[in-house]
Amino acid sequence: MRGMAWRLFRRDWQSGEVKVLFFALMIAVMAMVAIGTITDRTHRAMGEQSSEFLGADYTLRSPRAIEQSWLDKGRADGLQLTESTGFSTVLAKGDEFQLVSVTALGGKFPLKGEFEIADKPFTRGQSMQAQPENGSAWVEPRVLAALDAEKGDKVDFGAIQLTIAGVIVGGPGQASEMFNVAPKVYINQSDVERANIIQPGSRVSYTLFIAGDIQPRENFIDWLKPQMNKTQRLTGGKEGTPALQASIERAETFLRLASLISVVLAGVAIAVAAGRFSRRHYDYAAIYRCLGMQIAQVHRLYISQLMIMGLIGSAIGVALGLVIQQAIIVQFADFLPKPMVPINWAPVIAGGLSGLVVLIGFALPAFFQIARVSPLRVLRKEMVPQPVSSWLIYLLAIFTMALLMWWQSGSLKLVGILLGVALVAFIVIRLMAWLIFKVGIWLGKRGSTAVRYGLGQLKRYPAFTISQITAFGLAFIIMLSTVLIRSELLSEWQSQLPEDAPNHFLINVQPSEVPNLETILAEQDVETAGIYPMVRGRVTGLNGKPIEEAVSEEAQTDGSLRRELNLTWVEDVPKANEVVKGEWWDDAEHQPDENGVYQLSIDQNLAGRLGVDLGDVFEFSIGGVDVKGKITSFRDIQWDSFQPNFFMIFEPGALNENMATYITSFHLPLEKKAALNTILREMPTVTIIELDVIMEQVQTILDQVTTAVEFIMLFVLLAGVAVLYAVLQASKEERVLSATLLKTLGAQKKFIRMTLLSELALLGVFSGILGVIGGEVLVSVLYKEAMNIEPVLHPWFWLWVPLMAVTFICIAGWWGLKSLLNQPAHQVLRQL
């Protein structure tokens, strides 16, 4: 049977019978391998690059010294490890003192990224990966202002003196530590013991920075995790990058979505091509049955042929996918994340196996149909096999598709969204079928003869017409969704980091210093993102109960309940905040209610973690004073906006203004950096945090993520075009036969051309409308549920998508038919 299946495959290949199905499979596997591989490599490269913000691929933080056996294991695995010790102390110079946060480095740092060390504050410095020399220190600019010091001066550090060797302009961890009250100081680990500064009872933290090649590093991390206890925390590059985390998560969602789309495209193309293949083999199957073959034997024959097609087509698709992804990586290396990581063979194997599974799942029902052909078809061509009544096969195919989509994306939410939209698309397709007949009745009375005949072709084979609209519509849904999501992502990133995005933070501004600060900034024509009061307070209760009793065990571990929070009060909703539930307070005089409770607005994500809702009352301890706040609204906060943001905001009048300091952020170009010296000179207690270097890194990574998204989108569009072409090829035979019969009956070429173009144009209109409806639904759901983006409608797409669909289907369809229509009718009939 295998030998016969191989001979039939070669015969069908030579006659063109199998080429459409083979082409659909090859394109599907090629798309899955190329998209999957590029997605995986880009995803991992982004993770590698984002680790520059952390200073390493991973950091391990511990309240006690790192186990020596862990260090020995990591170094034996070829990893780079640097230990550090962190604590707070006081630096002194003469009569001046400053509380500082010290990091004592026991080796080269950072392992990823670079320090920028300058001679003076707020100037460009030298990039390096190193550690301070013995007896020296690198300090943040505010240390110099507080101690009235400069580079080269000596400061008292415990029992010894340290020389200020440089000013920290930029380095890892600044973005995540911007609200530390104490400025950062880096020293050499060897100076800690000489200073005799750590005593029993001192509060010390230990950090291990880990970097190395991917495989040994991940193996080490997998080995390390079971050894850790609850007091130790392991952080990866992205988790240590608040400024990038939301953007990278959205990009990863898009890349996972691209993998899902490639699977859907594969199913659509193969299902359509397999249906055409089975219809063309009804006559062969009838002959085999006349010659004595049993149904089971016909099944085995065609399933063997299916496996031959699957193995060869998948192998070629895998090879082409690897070639294409490598060509893209090499050709556009300057625009993609660096360093680009090597190929992980998992998506390659997944792509090849996915092609086989999709082929079997979506072609098997059509192939089972072949074996059910009655031998009487040899005499009566109108006899077609009864439809396969086993819904189990189709449900199995859908279940298999869902498993593949989950395997490709790792996201059950995305799979559920896509399958849900597929159900909506199915309902819309049925409505489209009804619409076709209604429009057909209207056009039948008003259209030209060619238009009426073209529409009649669609009405004559309703099942075939619906299958074409389904395939075209799904392809347009997928391509439109890809374009819309890509556009929204780019828009989000551009709005997140515009050219004038805040790149400096000022904290610890005293109330009496606010007018002077406003004057200095106004003289430099600098606009702030708002100057906000800030007090620090701890949550102590909820709804009259101690907080430990009022929330779940899981919520008790939330960081917001284990530390003091930054609290503020404002009149209007701050920038980068949106009220998503409840009501913001009005402009009336703000007074507590009869129980002394003020209105409170809370971050919606924090509310979800704590399990609170509107009307719940929090109790705070703020400088020894108890304050109560009733939740009246939830806010969605854009944490990556580089603007002051707060988990909890009170209405004005709720907090004691005398206890507040102020915080602001603003954009300051390089040529106006001198204003920072003026601020420090007149307000020495103010803390200035420079983010311009960090933002340059953020912008670089976002630019590269944007380029990766562009490439993936382009490849998905090309795969969609290939599917559309495969669908047109699958339906070519019916159109050629119809046109040839018209020619035989004496119809002119102009009439035949208008008939075909009318049919193709109507298919384009209906599938384009379906594409817009399904695309809007899919994108809206994905925006809301998967990407945390507010859904919007796209009116212009309702016009040009159907126009694009009509244009493409007419051009591609006519291109594939015009050569045959120029041939004599008897030659065309022999080729069919």
Q: In this structure, are 282 and 351 located in the same domain?
A: yes
Question: What single-letter DSSP state applies at residue 615?
Answer: T
Full domain range(s) for residue 145: 55-236
My answer on whether 426 and 572 are in the same domain is no
Strand partners for 637: 577
The predicted model gives 69-79 an average pLDDT of 91
397 and 290 within one domain: yes
Report the domain count for the chain.
3
pLDDT bracket for residue 155 (50, 70, 90): very high
Asked whether residue 537 carries a pLDDT value surpassing 70, the answer given is yes
Whether the model pTM is above 0.75: no
pLDDT of residue 464: 66
Angle between helices 692-730 and 797-821 (to 10 degrees): 40
Token pair for 542: 């909820």
Q: Which residues contact 103 (CB under 8 A, 6 or more apart)?
A: 84, 85, 86, 184, 185, 186, 187, 207
- Of 175, 205, 236, the last residue of a domain is 236
SS3 311: helix
Whole-number pLDDT of residue 666: 86
DSSP 3-state of 19: helix
Token pair recorded at residue 107: 């080796």
Residues 483, 554, single domain; the answer is: no
The reply to whether 719 and 815 lie within a common domain is yes
- Cα 180 to its chain centre, rounded Å, is 30
> Per-residue pLDDT for 727 more than 50?
yes
**Cβ atoms of residues 111 and 56 within 8 Å:** yes
Q: Is residue 516 part of a domain?
A: no
pLDDT of residue 240: 47
β-bridge partners, 535: 567
Same domain for 217 and 276? no
Q: Is the dihedral of CA 8, 11, 12, 13 positive or negative?
A: positive
Kindly state the tokens that stand for 278: 């089975």
* 270 vs 132, higher pLDDT: 132
> Between the CA of residue 298 and those of 6, 19, 350, 729, what are the distances in Å?
14, 21, 30, 26
- Tell me if 449 is assigned to some domain: yes
Tell me, yes or no, whether 777 lies in a domain: yes
Three-class DSSP category at 83: strand
Dist. CA 113–CA 172, nearest whole Å: 7
What tokens does 698 get? 């953020």
Q: Same structural domain for residues 253 and 232?
A: no
Q: Please compute the mean of the pLDDT values over residues 298-315 and round it to a whole number.
A: 82
Is 422 a residue whose pLDDT tops 80? Answer: no
Q: Which of 693, 705, 709 is CA-nearest to residue 53?
A: 693
Residues 128 and 218 in one domain: yes
Collapse the DSSP code of 647 into the 3-class scheme (helix H, G, I; strand E, B; otherwise coil) and give the result.
Answer: coil
Q: What is the DSSP letter of 680?
A: H
Q: Is the pLDDT of residue 157 over 80?
A: yes
Residue range 13-37, pLDDT digits in tens: 765 557 767 777 787 788 778 777 8
Residues 216 and 310 in one domain: no
> What was the pLDDT predicted at 97?
84
Question: Span 366-390, mean pLDDT?
Answer: 65
| Res 765 pLDDT > 90 | no
What's the token pair of residue 812? 């591609």
User: Considering the domain boundaries, does residue 672 fall inside one?
Assistant: no
**Separation between Cα atoms, residue 720 and residue 714, nearest integer Å:** 10
Give the span between the Cα atoms of 29 and 40, in whole angstroms: 16
Residues 140, 91 contacting (CB under 8 angstroms): no
Beta strand segments in 213-257, E: 233-236
Selected residue with higher pLDDT from 276 and 516: 516
Question: What's the CA dihedral at 823, 824, 829, 832 to 10 degrees?
Answer: -10
Query: Which residue among 170, 203, 236 closes a domain?
Result: 236
Structure tokens at 462: 């309703």
Does a structural domain hold residue 746? yes
The continuous run of DSSP H or E covering 821 comes out as helix 797-821
Task: Tell me the sheet residues that pair with 622.
Answer: 625
Do residues 458 and 762 touch, judged by C-beta distance below 8 A? yes
**Beta strand 532-542 with 545-546: parallel, antiparallel or unpaired?**
antiparallel
- Are 722 and 266 in contact, with CB atoms under 8 Å apart? no
User: Within this chain, do residues 170 and 287 fall inside the same structural domain, yes or no?
Assistant: no
Instruction: Round to whole Å and give the CA distance between 541 and 618.
Output: 6
Question: Which residues, including other chains, have CB under 8 Å from residue 540's CB and lie 6 or more apart?
Answer: 546, 547, 619, 620, 621, 626
pLDDT of 463-505, one tens digit each? 667 767 777 777 777 777 777 776 766 666 556 566 677 878 8
Residue 49 resides in a domain: no
Q: What is the pLDDT, as a whole number, of residue 306?
A: 79
Q: What is the pLDDT of residue 706?
A: 64
Torsion on CA atoms 31, 34, 39, 45, rounded to nearest 10: -170
Same domain as 400, residue 425: yes
Q: Is residue 77 part of a domain?
A: yes
The pLDDT mean for the chain works out to 77
pLDDT tens track for 176-186: 444 455 778 99
Whether 731 has a pLDDT exceeding 70, the answer reads no
Give the pair of three-digit tokens for residue 611.
């399990």
Q: Where are the alpha helices (DSSP H) in 332-378?
A: 345-371
Distance of CA 159 to the CA centre of its chain: 52
Enter the tokens of residue 802: 């159907």
- Cβ–Cβ < 8 Å for 57, 74: no
Burial of 518 (0-12, 13-18, 19+ CB in 10 A): middle
Does residue 175 carry a pLDDT above 50? no
Closest CA to 424 of 776, 73, 678: 776
* Domain end (from 645, 666, 687): 666
3-state secondary structure 697-758: HHHHHHHHHHHHHHHHHHHHHHHHHHHHHHHHHHCHHHHHHHHHHHHHCCCCHHHHHHHHHH
Q: Report whether pLDDT(390) > 50.
A: no
> What whole-number distance in Å separates Cα of residue 625 and Cα of residue 631?
19
Asked whether residue 676 is domain-assigned, the answer is no
Q: Does residue 244 have a pLDDT over 60? A: no
Output 153 or 293, whichever has higher pLDDT.
153
In a shared domain, residues 163 and 266: no
